[in-house]
Amino acid sequence: MQRTLCLFLIAALSAMSAMAQKLPLHHQVYDGWQRIGERTLSADGNWAVFAIDPQEGDGTLVLQSLRSDYRKELPRGYGAVISHNGRYLVYKIKPFFAAVKEARNKKKKPEEMPKDSVGIIELGKDSVVKFANVRSFKMPSEEEGWVAIHFESTERTPEGGEASAEL
Region 138-153: mean pLDDT is: 83
Element (H, E) at 12: helix 2-21
Closest by CA position to 98, among listed 66, 70, 57, 60: 57
Model confidence, pTM: 0.72
Q: How far apart are CA 56 and CA 12, in angstroms?
A: 40
Q: Are 157 and 125 in contact (CB under 8 A)?
A: no
pLDDT average, residue stretch 56-83: 90
pLDDT of residue 5: 67
CA distances from 118 to 3, 41, 87, 123 (A): 68, 19, 17, 15
Report d(CA 137, CA 88) in Å as an integer: 14
Three-state SS for 88?
strand
Q: What's the whole-number mean pLDDT along residues 51-59? A: 88
Which pLDDT value is given to residue 161? 46
Extents of the domains making up the chain: 32-151
Question: Which pLDDT value is given to residue 167?
Answer: 32
pLDDT in tens, 111-145: 888 898 999 999 888 889 999 998 888 888 777 77
Q: What is the DSSP letter of 1?
A: -
